[in-house]
Amino acid sequence: MTEQGINELAARRDEQWEEVIELCRRYGYLTQETGQSATIMKNASQIKSRGLEMYIFLQVQTCGAYPQPGECEGEEDVL
């Protein structure tokens, strides 16, 4: 593959960035986002490493809400 081909492939992949980040937000994987980079973790790992209260706080900060709208309709709030 030529350098130009690699650059074109990279550009096509990068066109999906916003979609990928939105999915990470929606499902709670996003733990940090700065400019053109992001850190993601599985939800269970976030809870284990940070504790439940910090997990919920960071979900609201990085993902906009916890739980996401429509995610837990009809479930009793236990917190």
pTM above 0.95, yes or no: no
* Per-residue pLDDT tens digits for 6-64: 999 999 999 999 999 999 999 999 999 888 999 999 999 999 999 999 999 999 988 88
* C-alpha distances out from residue 35 to 31, 32, 39, Å: 14, 10, 11
pLDDT at 47: 97
- What are the residues whose beta carbons fall under 8 Å from the beta carbon of 46, sequence distance 6 or more? 28, 31, 55, 58
